[in-house]
Structure formats: C-alpha cells, structure tokens
Chain A
C-alpha cells in the first residue's frame, strides 16, 4: 500500500497489507490475520525442505545486494555447530525507509520471519539489529518479541515443538556502516563497527566466530508468506520475460514527488508509470529532473532514463543503475545537482569507518572538491580529479562504502555535467593552496 496514502489499485500488497492498521501490531491481531501459521507449519518441516522452497520461490535479498535467499540459506548445513541468524534492521541507506514501516506496523511478521529463518538455517538464536534512531520500531519489535515469548512461540519450547528459538533485539548506535553485514556482527559482539575482511564469509565464521546467516528485514518478513502460500505463488509475481527477479518489492519514495511513501509492486513494474501514476508525478508546476532508484549508493538516472526503466534487478542494471534497497529519491528542476551530490558525498565521508585508505581519505577529498565547486570555486580540472579519485576508490576496499561514494559522483558528473560547468569559478594558480589549520579534536573534547 502507498502508506501513508491509500493503496493504489496497481500495487500488490503482501508485506504492506496491514500498514496503517494498529490492530495488526498485537499478537492477537496478528494471529487473527493468519499470523504464525507459517511458523507452525515450518517448525514441522525439515530445514533443508524450507531452504528448497525459498530457493524455488526466487526470493532474493531485499537489503540491496539481491543475493538469492534460498542459496544463502543452503550454505548452512546440519554440522552440529552453533549457528546464528542476524536480521539486519539497521536501515540507514539514505532514501530507504521500508523496513521501518514493516517494523512499525507488522512487528510480528518480522518476528515470525526471523524465527522461521532461524529454524531454516539450523540456528536456535537470532539477533535483530535495529538502527539506533528507530525508536518506535524498536519499541514495536521489542513488544512483539516479548509477546511471542509470553505466548510460547519463542523460548525453550517454541510453539510446543520442543525446539529452542531465541530472538534478541539489539539497538545499534546509529552508524551507517553497521548495516554492512560483518560490521554489524562486530557491533553485536561489542566491538567497533568495522567491516571484516572476507574470507572468511559469515556462513563459515560470522557472529562470535560461528556460521551465521544475515538477512534483511524485508527478506525475512517475506518468507512466512512463501511458506504459507507456496513457492509457486510467490514465483508468479514479476514480469514474464525475467525469471530472475520474482515476487513483490517495497519501494520507499521520497523527495520532490506528489505522494511520497512506501509502495509495494511486483518485480518488473514500469518505473515511469510507478513515478507518474502511483506516486503522482512531480509537484504542481515542477518537472522531475533526476531519480536515484535504489538508495543513495546507486548511479543517478535522468528522468528519461528512469521513465524507461523496469523495477527489478535486471531492469535497473539495463538502465545503468541498480535496484539496491528500493529507496527512490526524486529531484525536480529546483534542485542543484552539484549541491545534492556534494551532500551525499559528505554523508559517506562522515560515515566511513576509517579502515581502508581509499575510503577514509577519498570520501573526504571528494566532499571537499564537490563543496568547493558548489561554492563557485571549482575549475575544470576538478572533474578529472573527481573521476580519477572515484576510480581509485572503487573495487579496492574491504566493503563497498567507498564505491558507494564514488558512484553517484561519477554518474552525476556524467549526466549533469552542464550543472557542474555552470558553477566553475576563476581558475587560480595551483601554487596558491589555502592553508587552514583547524583541529578536529575540539569536537571530541
């Protein structure tokens, strides 16, 4: 549903069906809506069988990377070791707020998905790592977990099956990088949230050094529906000519658009119709100029490119960008793209964990150049420098934060170069380097 607006007829509400319905938040309300039936069914099944169903459903990771969920789960074997499931609810990608709504309105849907996922990967313990700023979702999910324990759904004898299922809610401290899966595990372990070098991959040595699976909120919440209605049902959503992207997907839409909010559509939905029909198009008297379709880390599209794109993993790649997390950011003709891109770069420079040289220095350098250009002090050689820095920042670091900073800059510079050029200032001699000595310690002191 187009929460907070009424559902549009062309949406396919599965996850968002009960958004805005306070009664669905309670255990009784959730049960009345068919909740926990899938979990009960799944607990009677062999984990390998569940893995197979999820594989057949075509569900792919909804956090942004789009890795097939069933295949990820099949890395977990009954090897007698302690396994962990982590639910990544550290939704921090600028422009993305779909997990927030899932947790606000259907917390039991998430708890059910987490419990089901834990069983499917031979784990007894699951952690839900929620972004620190999400105060309401934390309260909702915590209440749901408590209700589930009280009702015997979780605990030493989950749903009377004799199996142990524990779900812990962990509140993050608000670092973007803790949404990176290995940084999330470090953070859960009480360490600094730095991404780890891979290998070893989490399926081999993850949380507390044990085999771990980590899934996004939307992914896990989807699984009970698949178990309930079958793989074929879920696989039936999507465009016919693309067997690789199936099901429904939540898109968070924000920016200069008539009806911002969350929308759930089937994979492969035409992006142009999505923007103009479902979301109501540009604000009165305005024109859409650019769209970031999948969270701030993906390449920016022009309006023409966006309107021709299809909303699934392959469709977005064909349009030169990525589906990412489904966070759609719309810019209209009022926006200064140089300033917007500089703001994005500043975000990454602020959130870089400081491990890799390229990211630590490159994100900050990129920001300084962009902000100088935005202030009218840029010169033409800055463009080459920006692209070259971006090249040096891409594909060379532990995680992809560095790439994420370089991507919007490169695409912005390519597609909105005229806006950059319009801002160039007088070319100054390179010999005149401003020397400004400021301490960053004052903030810490």
Chain B
C-alpha cells in the first residue's frame, strides 16, 4: 500500500463508530462503510444527488439545522447522529407526509415486500394517520416499453427522471405540475422505449413504477434469489435470477461497479422465458440397432458417446453461452484428437448507456464468446472442414433449427455426431448417435468471461429437469472415458485445471472470483481492456 498517492482521508464519528473515508465522501456513503444505513429515498449512488426527499436528514453536532446526509460531505472530526430524537422525528414527519396521499394499497401492490416506503414506515413511521382529508387521485398511466406508472404511490423522489436525463441521456420523463399536484410526466409523443428504460422500475423505491412483465406475477417474499450473469450479450451484466416455484419470473441487475454499476438493459432483462421452457431434454438417449433414439441410463449413454468419439478427430460446435468450464473440457477433447472448435453467435445493434463508462448492450449477443476464443474456439464462418472419419460433438448449440452447411454432407459420408444440450433440435434428432441432456446456466454453476476479459461466476438458481446433468460434469465424465484422466467432482476443480492449463486464466482461483469476478491476467496482451486491477 502506498501512502503518498490516493485521496486525503477524513476521520469522523457516525453513531459512535469511527469512519475513515476519502475527502469529499457524502455522509450517507461514509455511514455505509461503518454499517449504518441512513434511511433515504431520492439518493442513489448511480445518480446525481437531488436532496429532495429530505429523508436522510441527520443530526450533525455544531450544525444549526439537520443536514441532508446525501448532500453533506464529511469533515474531519465531525460527529453525526442518525438516530437522535431530532433526526428520528424529522424522518417520522417525512414518512407521514409521504403517506397522506398514498393509497396504502400494499395488499395489491407489486412492490410490497421490497418497498422502502413500507420498510421505513414499519421502522419509524406513525402507527396511525392524522390525515382526515380526501386523498389526491391520479389515474395509472402506461409509460410505454415495459413500464407502468401508478402516480398515487409516487413520492416524487425523481430517481426515474434523473436516470432518464442524466444516465440514459434520453430525457423523456419530467416532474409536471407543482405542489402536491405534481406527478412524473412523460414528454409528449415519447415512450419509455429506450433499451435501458426498465431500470427506472428498479430505481423506484416504491410501487409507482412497475414492470408490466412482472405485474401481479409474484409477491416479493415468495421469490428465491441467486446471483448470476446475464447471457443477453458479451457485457456480462451481474444479475439476480428470481424464481418462484422453480420458475424464473424476473431478472434484476446486481450492482457491480466494474461491469454494469446498478443497471441492465431490457434485452437482457426480458429475455428469460427460454430458461423455463418445458420441451427440455431430460433423459440420455442412444441410437439403437433399429435406428431409433431410445432412452438409456447415464452410464450407457456416456459409454456410447465415448465409443462414438473414440479414435476420431473430435470437432466441437459449441454454444457461445457455454461456461468456461464446459468449453475447457471440450477443448481438451479437441486438443487430444487434433480436432477444431467453432461457435456461432447472433449479432445486433450496439446500444450504449451514455452515463456509464463502458456499459453497453453489446453487438455480440452471447455471454461467453470471449471465453470461447481464449480457449481456442473460432467463430464459424463458411463451411466447417469435417472429414468423413471425424466426429462432431455439438455442445448446446441449438443450431437455429438447422445444421451448418457441410456438416450434413460430412455426416452422410461417415462422420459421427454426439449431441449434448438442453434441447434436441429436429435437424439433429435424426443424425445424433447419442444425446446427452444438459442443464442450462441457471441450473448449474460455472463462469463466463465477458468481452473485457472479466471472469465472473454464476450460481445455480433452479433445479434441473429430469436426469439432465451440468455440462462440466458430463464433459468431465466423457473425458474420463476417452483419455483415462481423473473426473471432476466440483466446478471449482474444473476451473483449477483450466487455470493451470491456460495462461489466460492462470493465477485465478474459483473461490477468489467472489460474486463480482476478476479480470484474466493477460487480458491487455490479448487486446482486451481490463476494467480494474486484481487486488492481491
């Protein structure tokens, strides 16, 4: 640690705890560092400070008035009380004001259970309302895109307005009218169709902005949540997969300063239904003497798959959404037999979020193309060179319903085919010798490498259908049969083997990746930009 560089540090006391933070830090952020949450609504670390909700007023010794913690910077020796009588009374007052025109319709509100108005009112609000007048009423408005506005629940924190204006640079939202007649207005003729607009729903601390997609689908407390990575593009946004009864009902961004800050795009957010599809492969199948694929047990299927591949050059046609671990094991099969690996990738228009550096819906619409490249796979262009004596392993490439040109000819002339995947495309069903059911990325764990070379873990969020097994597990067992190597019991072991075999991943350990990931070591040499340094 060098002491000459870096910002000047300031020491202050917050709720009796000593905080040491860089000069210029706000009280609200300084309090977080010592485990004190200062209640707030309008403040959000990813947005410019507004200081309007007045919820974060704290008692600072020697200040004449309560100070907004979001807009007050730390000073040496300051003593801050968050829970003094004066500060608590101010918050209770704000909560009362915010609730007088609020419909109190928690039982039918989607935000219920994850609502900051609800939480703080339970913590510090008045038990009984003193408001006896008629409540203000405004009708629900469809903001376009995936967003619904329920103005009666709105507390005018302006997070949505600031996000659209200052982060998305698409100032569609505004505060219209004044006084308690104010509401969030939408510019005439414009809708929230910006590909990043869905973030306003996450940012809204109450139930005023809702996702139409999630509307009335689940109560917040029924959801199981696990950390994952979005597979919508190569950005690798950190997300939380939320499931109810083993069904994915919602994807939410998970904060990661180095990748996506607090945001994710609509393309990634709304593209989850395929995860829940019911027509999944759930049992291994082997082609019998009668020419038909019949259900087999795993041992038999793996033996048959090994037989199909043994003695031939093994080419792999992999999905660019396969994990680093699966790709690494597949690459071992290729390398041992002199085969080649290809992947195909869908492309779309790049859509950056202007207010956040290096965050964009990327043109490459798959999570792990970078990992595939690092592990020796090439993007398939033209006809794959497959000889009649070769074997092909399809690793969860759905092939868009059709096989690549040349592959069919190769199969007709004698090449063999093993299909390991989550579904069985019709084009493959008639040709594969063995079909191995795999879990998808929400049913297993592993890592992806994003376009900047950051290796990030995803965790399992739902159970697999039938007998489907994790990709790294199946490929490990297959490798064990083909080259008599030891199998793997955990994805961490596969990752360890990959880190020792591949320079790109050397020095990384599965556990040390944490849930925010680490960049590959020689990313710069490979022309990838490292977004932050490995903290040793």
Q: Which residues of A contact B (CB under 8 A)?
A: 175, 177, 192, 197, 349-358, 360-365, 368-369, 372, 385, 388, 391-392, 395-398, 430, 433-441, 444
| Complex contact A354–B134 (CB within 8 A) | no
Q: Is the CB of A354 within 8 A of B139?
A: no
Bound Cα distance from A433 to B179, whole angstroms: 23
Known pairs A197-B68, A357-B53 / 13 extra A-B pairs, C-beta < 8 Å: A197-B51, A350-B178, A354-B182, A356-B52, A360-B180, A360-B182, A361-B100, A391-B93, A392-B89, A397-B54, A439-B137, A444-B176, A444-B177
Asked if B139 and A441 make an inter-chain contact with CB atoms under 8 angstroms apart, the answer reads: yes
**In the complex, the 6 A-B pairs of residues with the closest C-beta atoms, listed nearest first:** A392-B93, A354-B182, A364-B180, A361-B97, A436-B134, A368-B133
Q: Which A residues lie within 8 Å of B177 (CB)?
A: 354, 440, 444
Can you list 6 pairs linking A and B with CB atoms under 8 Å apart? Answer: A350-B179, A355-B156, A360-B180, A364-B180, A368-B133, A392-B97
Closest to B141 in A: A441
Least CB distance, B167 to chain A, in whole angstroms: 18
Partner of A351 from B50, B52, B65, B179 at Cβ < 8 Å: B179
- Which residues in window 35-52 of B have CB below 8 A to A? 49-52
Complex alpha-carbon distance, A364 and B131, angstroms: 11
Q: How many residues of B contact A (CB 8 A)?
A: 43
The residue in A177, A358, A398, A444 that gathers the most chain B C-beta atoms within 10 A of its C-beta is: A358
Contacts of A350 in B (CB 8 A): 178-179
Name the residue in B57, B94, B98 with the highest tally of chain A Cβ atoms < 10 Å from its Cβ: B94
State whether B93 touches A396 (Cβ < 8 A). Answer: yes
Interface residues of B in 231-256 (CB under 8 A from A): none
Q: B52 to A398, Cβ gap below 8 A?
A: yes
Interface residue ranges of B45-77 to A (CB < 8 Å): 49-55, 57, 65-66, 68, 71
For the complex, give the distance between the alpha carbons of A395 and B136 in Å: 26
Return the contact of A361 from the options B89, B98, B137 (Cβ within 8 A).
B98
Residues of chain A within 8 A (CB-CB) of B156 are: 354-355, 357, 360
Asked if residues B137 and A438 are in contact (CB atoms below 8 Å), the reply is yes
Report the minimum CB–CB distance from B47 to chain A (whole Å): 14
Interchain CB contact under 8 A, B52 and A396? no
CB of B55 within 8 A of CB of A357, answer: yes
Decide: B133 and A440 in contact? CB cutoff 8 A.
Answer: no
| B101 at the A interface (CB under 8 A) | yes
- Chain A residue nearest to B99 (CB atoms) is A361
Inter-subunit contact A356/B178 (CB<8 Å):
no
Taking a contact as CB atoms under 8 Å apart, the answer to whether A440 and B65 are in contact is no
| Cross-chain contact of A349 among B57, B101, B134, B180 (Cβ < 8 A) | B180
How far is B178's CA from A352's CA once the two chains are assembled, in angstroms? 6
* CB proximity of A396 to chain B, nearest CB, Å: 6
Assembly CA distance A177 to B178 (angstroms)? 10
Chain B residues with CB below 8 A from A175, complex form: 178
With A192-B175, A355-B52 in contact, do A361 and B101 touch (Cβ < 8 Å)?
yes
Closest B residue, CB atoms, query A432 = B132
A353 vs B131: C-alpha distance in the bound complex, in angstroms? 22
Cβ-defined partner of A398 (8 Å) among B51, B94, B158, B180: B51
**Given the contacts A350-B178, A396-B65, A439 and B94 also touching, CB distance less than 8 Å:** no
| Interchain CB contact under 8 A, A440 and B90 | no
Of all chain A residues, which has the CB nearest B178? A354
